[in-house]
Structure 1
Amino acid sequence: MNDGTRVIDGANGPELRVFPVTVGDFGIYRCVVSNSSGTVTSIPVRITVLDVFTPSTNIIAASSSATASLSVTVNSATAVTKFRWWKMVGAAVDPINDTMISDGGAFSGATKNVLKIKTPDGSNAGTYYCVVTAYNTFMYSGPKNLIVVPAPESRLVQLGAPLEFIAMPQGPAALLAQLTYQWRKDNAPLGSETNSTLSIASAQLADQGSYSVDVTHPDAGTVTSLPGTATVIDSSTAYKVVVQGKNGVFVVPVISKTQTFQWYRNGNPLAASAKYVGVTSAKFTVKATNVDDAGEYECRTTIGGDTVILSRPVLIVVQPPASKVVAVGGQLELEALHPYGGAMSVTPALFQYQWFKNKVLIPGAESKIYEIPTAVGNDRGAYTCMVTYPSGGSGLSGVANVTVLNTNPFVVNVNAGKSAKLSLKSVLFAGKNVSFQWKRDGNPLVESLKYVGVNKSSLTITGCSLADADDYECEVSYPGSSLSATVDLVVFSAPEIVNLVFPSAIVGGQFIYQIEFSPDPLYVPEKFAASPLPKGLTINKSTGLIEGVPTVSGSFDVLVTVTNDVGPSTETATLVVNPLPAHLVGNFVAPLPRMPAGQFADLGGRFDMIVTATGAASGKVTVGPLAFSFKGTISVIGTDGNATAEASLLAPRAGGDLTITFDLGTDDYLTDGEITGAGNTVPFEGWRNTAPGAGLQGLYNFAIGLTAGDMGVDSIPQGSGYGSFTVSPTGALNIAGSTSDGESITSASFVGPDGEIMFFQSLYKTVAKGSILAEGQIDDSLAGNPLGGEGTWSRPENPSSTHRRYKDGFGPVDVIIAGGLYAPGANLLGATAADLTFEEGGIELASRNPNRSFSVASGSTLPVPSSSTPALTVFKGVNLATGAFNGSASLADDDPTTPGVVKADEYKRTLSFKGLVVPIGGELVGYGFFVIPQIPTLAPPTTTSTSPELSGSVLFEKTAP
């Protein structure tokens, strides 16, 4: 029985056979067995019926979202039923070679009874089957066929070319033969188009659209493919008018995002370059067009597998018409130029023209050729032509310049020696950018000093002579167009210069030269000129005499001109003016001795002067406290580097000018100098600053001492004055120091050629002045550059009742200068012990002796007093860099003018001293002075406030052994 309830008819034997099995036979079966002993029912048996053998066919249109479903039917499936889908490789099931389907990619449900397949294209079409397993038994399903219909491929065709769409369904070949077709355009059926291929012999613009196909299988039904697009390109010719030098730009339409472009010329693809930009783009540019760029271009575009000519544009390049030179009365003809490369599509008759002159429209000038039958001067100018082509636009040409020339010969007269100007001004009506070339005897002239302006409308022929008389031609031209004008040059004679050779001259030296000329009465000049003459020289315009004193040096090309009624004659000669030799230029100084008589006669002074490279001399004469300025020029003797000079100069002075004379030699010395005035003559000699070598440079210290006859004389300051100076690389030096009576010395000067130095200082605040005047010399041939010299020193009487210091004055007295290059070592005096000694100035009358002894440490600036010396003297030390030292001492004495009081320290005084360490005789010794008031006396009667102030000597030196 079936399901234990329904009895199966006829099934009354021990064996049950069911054939053929149908889906309705699935269920649970039992067998009831009966005999005389009774009845029993067997255990149940399940029969599962698989409906898997039924073949099926599916058809689907391919798309990105399309999915096909294949299935097998299993009735009363149990949990033990399994599925696995396969795809046939051949025409029959072949488990060994067939492809087992797995989930992923285009497939899902590979182990289920329904297999889903994505069909974006036809690659998954074919025959599938399913292996079903249950109760350890498997069987193959019937074939499950899948037909996929892709969209027809879109087409891009040229207008008039064949257009074809092909339906290409994918699936089992036997089933594909059973398919039928119906084509559609824009979704409307094309009744007669029922083949797998749709063909249009000559595509027209109306054939553009969307094409799809209905594909029908008798078992699977009908599907409609996705559409393919038909694009028909009409590559008609376009035109572009562009002015030469400008860019030509072509733009074609963009049809598809996948569209590519390639521009061609003469059948060859163009490569990207500076000339061609955008050769693979819809926008294509020809840069800076010229005549070679004119003609037809081609743009080919590709979509999918189809390539068509999208456009055949023609580039028309408008060139400037040719510039012209035309004769007055001649015919002017200008032609518009617009090459288009011979493109067959261009119709020459369609071009339109409009001519302009100087940017103004010329009425009626609308032809390719513009003509003026008889040209006149006013026809010159800048001509342009507007060229137009239908649908190609317009372009205004570049400029054609027109120059009009009167070619009739004319005459130019010139006097010999003059420059002739051959100008076309009266015959030329020049347009812009015209070229000129002057010729003689048919040969082009070359620009030179003789011919100036050979490529201009005016030619200047300099220094004309009879040999220059000739016919000259000027060729006036544009490229491809030229005319010539002829000028007849007539040269008239002029005076003749003879033997023009200037002698050498020198700055500051007298120069005289007479211009020589031909004695022929026909050429005798009446006027003379010379230029440029060096500053300081002049020419007599009537005689031709050049004279004067040059103030500038150099080589001068002097143009000498002599003129008569006919005209001038010129010749150039070089006049060399040598510069002043170095030994005559620069700063000079000289000491002036004390005069024997006159105002400030006993004071002396100094002479300072600067001579410039022009020979100008200026300076001042200092006499005592007064200074008298002067200026003038020196007179140079000779014209070369060995020239010397003399001078006579005036220094204005109330009561009579000072006359200054001197000589300057080649040895950097001023000699034979005299200053005369007010009946007195003072001789002097000096030197020039020669900027000494390194051997003279450095710091110098010197002492100023009295001669032996004045030592110990109370009326003359005792002790040593001093000074120091540094010789710079320029030779300059500034002396600073002091006299031994405490007056400051400051004097600026420079070292002489052989180490000479001098200083002069007007001294004291009295009405009558004193002074110190000294001259010395550095000997750089000896070690330490010793400095020696001598001078004089004077101090006037001071009538003031309160004045205490050398009230009666003194001198002039002789002084001695001694010193040298100051270069101390680490130990200033070269010893470990030193003495400080005081003498003169009344110090011997003091009850306390200020002398001291010291120990000197290396590098120390302050000596250490010995314990055995009195502590009354304070030594403030030595400045090692300069050698200066100073200090003080405390003195205490009884005042003899108060006999009623006897007290050892009744009169207290402070002794201040200062000095300078000076190199003398290879030793460093400190020389200086002090000034102290004297102890009062009864006779002559003095007090502590009226007693004289005297100077004494201080000496700082190493202790004698």
Structure 2
Amino acid sequence: MKKLLLSLACIVWSLPVVQAATITVSNYNGFAVHGVADSTGTLVGDNGGHGVIGRMTISDTEIQDLIAAKDFVALEAAFEVFAPGAGAFSLGNLEAGAFEAELSASTVPGETNAFADSDIYIWLYTGNNRSSATNYLLAKLPYQFPEDPASGPPAGPVEVFLRPTATFFAGAVSEETHDYGLGDGAVAILQMEVQDHNQAPEVENLNITVVSGGTVSGQVVATDADEDELTFEKVSDPTMGSVDFDTANGTFTYTANAGITTQVTDSFTFKAFDGTIPSAEGTVNITINPAIPEAPVIDEVEPVVGYVGTSYEYQIKIANLPQGQPTSYIASGLPAGLKLDAKTGAIKGIPSKAYESGQTAQISAKNATGTGPKQPITFVIKSVPVEAIGTFVARVERASDNAADLGGRIDLTTSSKGSFTAKLMAGTLAYAGKGYMTITEEDSEPVVNVSIQFLRKGAPTLEANLTLDLSQGPGYAEFQLLGSLSNPAIEQSGVDVKGVRNTWTKLDQPTAFMGAYTYSLTIPEEDKGDETIPQGTGFGALTVTNKGTASFTGKTADGKPFTVATIIGRQGDIPLYCALAGGAGSLVSIPEITTPGVGTGNLNGLSGIMSWSKPEGSTKERAYRDGFGKINLTLSGGLYQGAPVGGIVAGLVNTGPTDMTAKNAWISFSEGGLADGDIETFSFLIMNRKVTSVGQTVVVAKPNPKAGIDDPNPNSISFKLLSKPAGYFTGSFVIPNAVKSNVRKVTYQGTFVRHPDGSFDRVGYFLLPELPDVGEKITTTPMLSGQVLLSDSEPESDPEP
């Protein structure tokens, strides 16, 4: 008798896991204890597990559908067991190698090798029968006959063995728990899963009543014995009205048709669904009664809250619709600024007066039946929060689609009426806006928003959307105004807007910040040596007054002066924007004044990043005509402190009131187009001739031909201290040339910057004309910016030019 060897693979259908139990089966292993165990390793016992082998009379798709519906009765009816009786086996008491013997089953006469044209299935289960099994696994075993003709298939009835010796694996994991697998060289663990015996949800019918033209809301009721999460489905629609049905929770709103003059009934049907099985249909029965006209009755409401200056709208509600459908409305005693639309019942307007304790208005409505009773409605109109009233100044960040990347500034003034006026400086242009704030409440706290439209002639309108911070006292926020400025015509065009409110008063002055400051503006390290960018150090002065105003003056390193007035915030932040004169660029920053720790002996510091850019200039522009993109300058400075009585300015060494030959200042010049040997470091003296005075005297050595002393100042360097602003200095030097017309006399300027720890920087810039080419004049050639540095000791070597 020949034996046909089948090469097996495994396709498994299984129920969605509810309570998975792993069934481990041993086979073809004389050393294993054979049995079936659940996920805890407990054996199911003799005859506790069973199996059958056979074929299916339906397609894979139909098998999947029956499994999804959990229709195991139909699934069992479609399963044909090979050689009934012999095709069934027990899993609870198998002997070593017995599974091979048990699965060797012959087909009945007349069905000789009938399975040769169909796939083979094995069905393992625990329980009394397949249709009520608590655990089950159905596996499909596709086959392939050997290519050797001597191996078959046979011509007549034979016993056909399923003995996949190379691909059928079993092994004892322990004495009680075993693995059984089907696969191509690898063990595939057979998993059997608990059949949950899912039950269909049950629904209840519902009866409701409504009048013609009226609306009623409700929720259908369903229960599920398995406590599954339920959803709903509307099966049929009503015919005498319409329904809005929420499938997520079964809530609905039914609106009856208007004009029904006799009592009628309507209905719609629904089902509940547990994710697997739908319920039977439920019915919502609706009784519709005719609507008998009544005088309108105003619905009672809680006090209605609004704010002075904030656009307000309230719709009067009718309690007895549709019988009391009004034709007009009446109101008396409304808050100032609000008006009633007698046709629609809408109360609209902008409240102009606060009613903190409430203003009670009498509201009624009427129709052909008559006028309904007056209903008192209280309107609580709150004042504009004091923290939202005042003057705000904000910095607008640079953006390529806004003012040619020059940045800007918003000045906002708000009033107790809720109104505002605004001014936007964008580049060199100014735009105005006005309107009313929008005040709402979140968690019973006011939230103030400001939306501003800035109209631009011949260009899209710019829109600012701002929020005002209302914190106060020790909890003052760093910024009282935050938001964005955008061009609605361009997607994602919003740029950052940050600002502060001037909160200072006569009784609450910015004492910690008041005073005169000096500062320097230094280019980034990576830009040093780049001749397309000014190499000098810009500088300036800042004055903070007792009114909270902050006035900046200064010069950029290309020689452009600037002046700007702004305000200082509670945390020392100062929003700054300045369009440089003549379209020479802009400065954008929010520098901050920092106060020293108690007992440190330090003074206030001033720091930040100053964004500087310059567009291409006219032909008259001599310094950096081609312009340059944004440069982030380091702003560094502090509260300025002049010379002490009897002392020397800027922390220089005091050499005494009489010795005029000493030196305590060394000035050097670099970059700006200077060539080697053009100018050397020069030393001179700044002295105080009176120990009771703060006056300073500058002593520059002069040549003495009679004494045979060479000229100690070949570049004719001069130096002068300026009193306004305090801390500024200026001077000049000469670069000789054999051609008289090419001799270059250069003015330089700078400032002394005192840092919080008492140390000083003494820096500035100069502008040096380039030597002319043939046909050019030195008065029209381009100028380059260079660095000025004043030291309190002799440098080790001259800086590289």
- TM-score for both structures, normalised by structure 2: 0.50
Greater gyration radius: 1
Q: Which has the higher contact order (CA 8 A, sep 6+)?
A: 2
- TM-score for both structures, normalised by structure 1: 0.42
